[in-house]
Amino acid sequence: MHYDVIYIGSGNAAWQGGRFLRKAGLKILIIEENLYGGACANRGCNSKALLDAPFEIKALSENFEGVGKAGDFEVNWSDLMKFKRKRIAGMSIFLDGKFNEYGLDVAHGKGVILDKHTVQVGEDTFTTDKIVICTGLKPFIPDIKGKEYFHDSTDFLDIEELPKHAIIVGAGFVGMEFASILAEAGLGADVIVRGDMALKYFHQPYVRKVINILKEKNIRFHFNQSVKEIICNVEIDNPKSKVLNIDKAMNSDDKLRDPESKIDNIAYENGFTVNLDSGLSLTGDYVIAAMGRIANVEDIGLENVGLTYTNKGIKVNGHLQTDVPNIYASGDVADTGIAKLVTVAIHQSKYLAKELLGGADEITYPVVPAVAYTIPRIATVGVPAYIAEESDEYDVHTIRYGNSYSLELKNDKTAEAKVIVDENLQIVGAEIYAADAENVANMFTFIINKKITLEELDYMIYAFPSSSSVCLYKLHNIHYNL
């Protein structure tokens, strides 16, 4: 069967643009090896948001300790996990229905490129005018002794019970966000950081604030360290099991039972030893690989068309076109130099629809906000503070709106933003540290992209009380040089 465009992968990088192509009359096929919707819908963003929310509320409730809070807010992980599985289980089914509604054909299986116009799925082959690779990223697992004992983010977001003491290797989005969950749950963890910074793309003074909170809640950090090996301290029936963790108990002969067995949960907190190159040894009951993600392109036939790739993905030009003119890459698998976020994938997919419908100018990007969903959140958008502080072109203004408006912010006294302005007092960047930093970041994103001036902002009337209104109100200090 012949198609105008075949997408390999079914995440936002594919269907967001594919539906517009179908509406324009093109015949579209989406190939998916796993669940429809890709990682964000089924194994990432949605699961993380759902599981994180109760812990966020728990942290907010602590703002009223001694001033109205009665009793403790506890999170029942087992019930929360049941709820998460029920909600997430419907995502792939929902998207399958949407694909049908949009008139997008689907083929379930691994898509392998045979030549620049042919893709194979199982025993079926399909021909096409154009191919779009949207296979995303996968967790990076280092090739070290004991690597089979690593758990990735997918495992953690589906774990039956939280580990008593995890060892987290990496301090990017995944490592720091999981550390926040464990901290709010009253559990412990060791975080191993290869360099001297966690969340290196975020404002480091705010990152250090989060680290200090985590340290107070039994999370330990080890900077400038690398993992040498992982040793399991007990005999394991199934070392390849992805559910080897605290929810699988020790039996009487000191062996971990089969992963599918139904047994009482007994913590074995020293089940694993992680040895570092420095000679330091750490023990825990669960080891998480949080060292970033790499291109998910193995065994999809890139070699058949002469395409190469790196861990960052497949190199593309300004039209998201690979070295093979009729093959494109979109989303996280495309090496564009732009942040690999689901919002960027959507932007690229919509652009590519225009490109495939007859050509478009090279893709451009508005400012892209990024949020670390730690507790509290950290966000960044536009020109970062560290660049502004080293340049004569910008000024950095600190807006401690939590300190001034704690009553309006649910008694949060720590909310803060650093606002970067150019020589014309035009806002060009912001760093935010707050419980709802993501919403404040979206506000600044709109301001920066639309070049709204401080005078225009000061003229507007906002809903009050709200975090955005009080932060915006404080901006008049910059406008009036107060």
Q: What is the pLDDT along the chain (482 residues), one digit of tens a residue?
A: 999 999 999 999 999 999 999 999 999 999 999 999 999 999 999 999 999 999 999 999 999 988 898 888 999 999 999 999 999 999 999 999 999 999 999 999 999 999 999 999 999 999 999 999 999 999 999 999 999 999 999 999 999 999 999 999 999 999 999 999 999 999 999 999 999 999 999 999 999 999 999 999 999 999 999 999 999 987 665 554 433 443 333 333 333 333 333 222 233 467 999 999 999 999 999 999 999 999 999 999 999 999 999 999 999 999 999 999 999 999 999 999 999 999 999 999 999 999 999 888 999 999 999 999 999 999 999 999 999 999 999 999 999 999 988 888 889 999 999 999 999 999 999 999 999 999 999 999 999 999 999 999 999 999 999 999 999 998 888 877 75
Is 140 in contact with 258 (CB distance < 8 Å)?
A: no
d(CA 319, CA 353): 11
Which DSSP string do the residues of 299-330 spell out, in sequence order?
TSSGGGGT---BTTBEE--TTSB-SSTTEEE-
Find the Cα–Cα–Cα–Cα dihedral 30, 33, 35, 36, rounded to 10°.
0
Helices (H), 185-239: 204-216
Is 340 in contact with 149 (CB distance < 8 Å)?
A: no
Q: Which of 325, 356, 387 is the C-terminal boundary of a domain?
A: 356
Q: What is the structure's pLDDT at 407?
A: 80
Peptide bond into 259 cis (omega under 30): no
The reply to whether 25 and 135 lie within a common domain is yes
* Residue linked to tokens 């109100």: 473
- In total, the chain counts a number of residues equal to 482
Q: What is the structure's pLDDT at 235?
A: 67
The reply to whether 125 and 156 lie within a common domain is no
Q: What is the structure's pLDDT at 9?
A: 97
Task: Give domain status of residue 365, yes or no.
Answer: no
d(CA 416, CA 406): 11
Task: Give domain status of residue 361, yes or no.
Answer: no
The reply to whether 301 and 236 lie within a common domain is no
d(CA 335, CA 200): 20
d(CA 24, CA 14): 16
- Cβ of 157: how many Cβ atoms within 10 Å? 22
d(CA 131, CA 326): 7
Any residues with CB less than 8 A from the CB of 71 and at least 6 apart, and which?
Answer: none
Task: Give domain status of residue 367, yes or no.
Answer: no
Task: Give domain status of residue 17, yes or no.
Answer: yes
Give the residue from 121, 174, 468 showing the smallest Cα distance to 340. Answer: 174
The reply to whether 344 and 277 lie within a common domain is no
d(CA 250, CA 271): 10
Is 268 in contact with 247 (CB distance < 8 Å)?
A: no
The reply to whether 177 and 228 lie within a common domain is yes
Would you give the DSSP letter of residue 105?
A: E
Q: What is the structure's pLDDT at 236?
A: 61
The reply to whether 151 and 282 lie within a common domain is yes
Is 420 in contact with 396 (CB distance < 8 Å)?
A: yes
For the chain, the domain total comes to: 3
Region for residue 331 given its phi and psi (left: phi exceeds 0; alpha: psi -120 to 50; beta: otherwise):
left
Per the structure, the complete domain to which residue 445 belongs is given by 376-479
Task: Give domain status of residue 330, yes or no.
Answer: yes
The reply to whether 301 and 228 lie within a common domain is no
What CATH number is attached to the domain comprising 237? 3.50.50.60
Task: Give domain status of residue 371, yes or no.
Answer: no
The reply to whether 261 and 331 lie within a common domain is no
What's CA 397's distance to the chain center, in Å? Answer: 28
| Amino acid (one-letter) located at 133 | I
Q: What is the structure's pLDDT at 257?
A: 33
Q: Residue 287: in which H helix or E strand, if any?
A: strand 286-289
Q: What is the structure's pLDDT at 261?
A: 31
Is 226 in contact with 277 (CB distance < 8 Å)?
A: yes
The reply to whether 285 and 214 lie within a common domain is yes
Cα separation values, 369 from 46, 325, 383, Å: 18, 31, 11
Any residues with CB less than 8 A from the CB of 357 and at least 6 apart, and which?
Answer: 20, 21, 24, 26
What CATH number is attached to the domain comprising 382? 3.30.390.30
d(CA 31, CA 128): 13
Q: Which of 244, 273, 289 is the C-terminal boundary of a domain?
A: 289
Give the residue from 446, 384, 451, 445 showing the smallest Cα distance to 418. Answer: 384
Q: Which of 240, 271, 289 is the C-terminal boundary of a domain?
A: 289
The reply to whether 183 and 265 lie within a common domain is yes
Q: Residue 38: in which H helix or E strand, if any?
A: helix 38-42
d(CA 38, CA 337): 22
Sheet holding 165-169, edge to edge: 150-151, 286-289, 165-169, 188-192, 219-222
Cα separation values, 54 from 42, 50, 139, 181, Å: 19, 8, 26, 9
What are the phi and psi torsion angles at 24 (to 5°)? -80, 0
The reply to whether 297 and 284 lie within a common domain is no
The reply to whether 154 and 258 lie within a common domain is yes
Give ∠ CA 246-262-181 in degrees, rounded to 5. Answer: 30
d(CA 125, CA 154): 31
Find the Cα–Cα–Cα–Cα dihedral 387, 389, 393, 396, rounded to 10°.
110
Task: Give domain status of residue 97, yes or no.
Answer: yes
Task: Give domain status of residue 418, yes or no.
Answer: yes
